[in-house]
Chain A
Amino acid sequence: MTQMKERLVQLEVLRYNPDTDTEAHFQRYEVTCYEEWVVLDALNKVKADIDPTLNFRWSCHMAVCGSCGMMINGEPKLSCHTFLRDYEGVIRVEPLAHFPIERDLVTAPDDFMEKLKRVKPYIIPKEKKPISEGEYKQTPAQLMKFRQYSMCINCMLCYAACPEYGLSPSFIGPAALTMAHRYNQDSRDGGRMERQEVVATHEGVWECTFVGACSEACPAHVDPASALQQMKITSSIDWIVEHLIPGGKK
């Protein structure tokens, strides 16, 4: 068996204790890690061997749960999916940008959760039918129309990447709007006009200026930027039909 290579890793971690601190500050840790480890492993080693007061969220350790999002050298990343071998020198670890810091690397996701609810991220059936009539069927082509958008793991990296959300916190934001698009594109759904009340507003897609950082940051290879641009087009068509075409209505 090949021997795993060890390496002394220097981490600079942003700390904030709401009980004692008024500002956040960086704390330096030096910890011996295996080269094959990810940043989350290094943090766990720090917590186990050096400083048990260090707080951070994680769960699955396999880029599925979306809990361990952090800024690593200024980039929003899942710390369980960010390998130490890709970094040299001091690795700077901060909580996700644009979210309030609850404690150390733990952020408050309340704003995102509230916005996610507002876009009604569930199927609103076109026509309700009793269970006795069977399932709502869908072809593979109809599935592919929205499949990539359904891969979102709610990790909020796209919010940390989006400068618009940082500057205008009322922006509904990439993941929540992408979820609206995912259900709008679903052949079983009939709720688009209900979602438009949130989507086609200044806080909705029109706050997006297509920086595209959300799509670069997404660890699940979802393309929120594409979802938002497509919704801008459908929202514009809605407006034209309603205001410029005689007899046209939403």
Chain B
Amino acid sequence: MSRRPLVREVPPTSWYFRHPLYLRYMSREITCIFVAAYCVLLVVGLQRLSSGPAAWEAFLLGLRSADSIVFHLLALAASVYHAATWFGATHKAMPIQIGEDFVQPNVISGAHYVVWVVLSFVILYLAGVF
């Protein structure tokens, strides 16, 4: 008797609907689009700044538009989700072993949150908010 195994194809585009975990993964991947778009916006801002005061003022005016504010809110939400899910996973990529025990995951993710808050305040300070 010869073998005739049945191979089942995985749908290339709709596989992520098969499990809630896959959907959560894809939702995190999609946040990268907003993170990348915001990086492009920063580069455009730098280019405008180097083009003189008039260009810079026009850029700032554009930032105050309703579309821009909606984009910034979406980008902020996406970035926070991206960061929070990454912090939650860092103990997998960077476990810390002390003697025979490993540092608890919430300590590692908690340290990331502390550094995030401190760095955010440093940036706000440098930007002259305080």
Contacts and interface: CB of A to CB of B under 8 A. Distances in A.
Interface in A210-246: 210-213, 215-216, 223, 225-226, 229-230, 232-233
A183 interface: no
Interface residues of A, number: 36
A18 interface: yes
B18 A230 contact: no
Contact of A166 (B15, B21, B29): B15
A105 to B, nearest CB: 12
Interface stretch (B59-67, B94-102, B118-126): B94-102
Contacts of B6: 16, 18, 21, 23-24, 100-101
B54 interface: no
Given A19-B1, A98-B10, A211 B21 contact: yes
B16 interface: yes
A74 interface: yes
Interface residues of B, number: 28
A51 interface: no
A213 B19 contact: yes
Interface string B15-26: 110110110010
B96 to A, nearest CB: 12
A141 interface: yes
Given A213-B22, A229-B92, A18 B100 contact: no
Given A74-B18, A74-B19, A216-B21, A223 B92 contact: yes
Given A141-B99, A211-B22, A230-B95, 9 more contacts: A21-B6, A101-B5, A107-B5, A141-B97, A144-B102, A212-B25, A223-B92, A229-B92, A230-B92
